[in-house]
């Protein structure tokens, strides 16, 4: 039976981290965001009192009787099923820890354009967003990139993957995170990426994997835009200061 992925239409969003794993594995899945009325289905789903495990927010994934929300928990569940998690439990936990750190950076990238709150439009928090963006560009991007680089350089199996000698869902997530950051902060990322070597190599290798290459060219891959997590506002990506 095909997996069902529930997420908003029109943006890659957090759902994209799940899509990346499903696409790499060539798994059969139904993407609710592509259905007519999908957004309403996503919004209404958890309101049914028969849903015992309602998700606080999308994405959530249905696999027969199992319903699971929270991007990192979805990947924890899918990983072994899609062969994107190491068999060794300690390594699997490490992959999950990396994923949770990626998720933290995703949250921070979102909050750059919504420092005051998600209930207000970006246009109502521009001065605050500019302040937050400065710290994100100067401190947070370099700090996270340095951590990913350290993780890759310390991998005893070599720097081709974040953990072990085989692709995991964390590698796919890092690729998508970097893509999102490059879209949102092209100037800051151009500069920050010169400080690391393994991270861009991994991203390039992911983009060249046959399944991912085909997916990225397909209409299933949604473009980044200014309704999503990674938004390009030039004033948040100044060349200087």
Q: How far is the CB of 125 from a second copy (least distance, A)?
A: 8
Counting contacts by CB under 8 A, is residue 2 touching a second copy? Answer: no
For a second copy, the closer of residues 11 and 102 by Cβ is: 102
Counting contacts by CB under 8 A, is residue 151 touching a second copy? Answer: yes
Counting contacts by CB under 8 A, is residue 9 touching a second copy? Answer: no
Q: Which of 5, 22, 233 is nearest to 121 (CA)?
A: 233
For a second copy, the closer of residues 152 and 212 by Cβ is: 152
For a second copy, the closer of residues 75 and 167 by Cβ is: 75
Q: Which of 79, 76, 71 is nearest to 13 (CA)?
A: 71
* Residues contacting 154, CB < 8 A, separation 6+: none
Q: How far is the CB of 218 from a second copy (least distance, A)?
A: 30
Counting contacts by CB under 8 A, is residue 197 touching a second copy? Answer: no
**The one segment of 29-37, 100-108, 185-193, 228-236 that binds a second copy by CB under 8 A:** 100-108
Cα–Cα distance for residue pair 16/221, rounded to 1 Å = 8
Counting contacts by CB under 8 A, is residue 77 touching a second copy? Answer: yes
Number of alpha carbons in the 13 Å side-chain half-sphere of residue 187: 15
* Residues contacting 109, CB < 8 A, separation 6+: 136, 180, 181, 184, 229, 230
Cα–Cα distance for residue pair 190/99, rounded to 1 Å = 23
Cα–Cα distance for residue pair 177/224, rounded to 1 Å = 12
Cα–Cα distance for residue pair 34/32, rounded to 1 Å = 5
Q: How far is the CB of 177 from a second copy (least distance, A)?
A: 13
What is the contact surface with a second copy in residues (CB under 8 A)? 49, 51-56, 65-66, 68-70, 72-73, 76-77, 90, 93-94, 96-97, 100-101, 104, 107, 111, 115-117, 119-120, 125, 128, 131-132, 135-136, 139-140, 144, 147, 150-151, 154-156
């Amino acid at each position: 039976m095909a997996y069902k992925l529930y997420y908003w239409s029109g943006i890659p969003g957090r759902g994209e981290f799940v899509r990346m794993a499903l696409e790499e594995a060539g798994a059969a899945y139904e993407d609710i965001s592509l259905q007519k009325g999908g957004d309403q289905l996503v919004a209404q789903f958890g309101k049914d009192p028969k849903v015992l495990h309602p998700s606080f927010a999308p994405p959530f994934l249905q696999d027969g009787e199992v319903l699971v929300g929270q991007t990192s928990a979805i990947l924890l569940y899918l990983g072994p099923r899609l062969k994107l998690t190491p068999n060794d439990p300690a390594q699997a936990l490490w992959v999950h820890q990396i994923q949770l750190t990626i998720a933290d950076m995703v949250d921070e990238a979102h909050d750059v354009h919504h420092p005051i709150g998600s209930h207000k439009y970006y246009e109502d928090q521009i001065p605050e967003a500019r302040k937050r963006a400065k710290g994100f560009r100067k401190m947070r991007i370099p700090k996270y990139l340095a951590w990913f680089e350290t993780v890759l350089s310390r991998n005893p199996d070599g720097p081709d993957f974040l953990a072990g000698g085989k692709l995991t869902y964390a590698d796919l997530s890092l690729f998508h995170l970097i893509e999102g950051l490059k879209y949102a902060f092209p100037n800051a990322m151009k500069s920050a990426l010169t400080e690391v070597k393994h991270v861009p190599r991994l991203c390039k290798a992911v983009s060249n994997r046959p399944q991912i290459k085909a997916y990225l060219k397909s209409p299933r891959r949604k473009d980044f835009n200014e309704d999503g997590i990674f938004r390009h506002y030039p004033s948040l990506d100044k060349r200087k200061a």
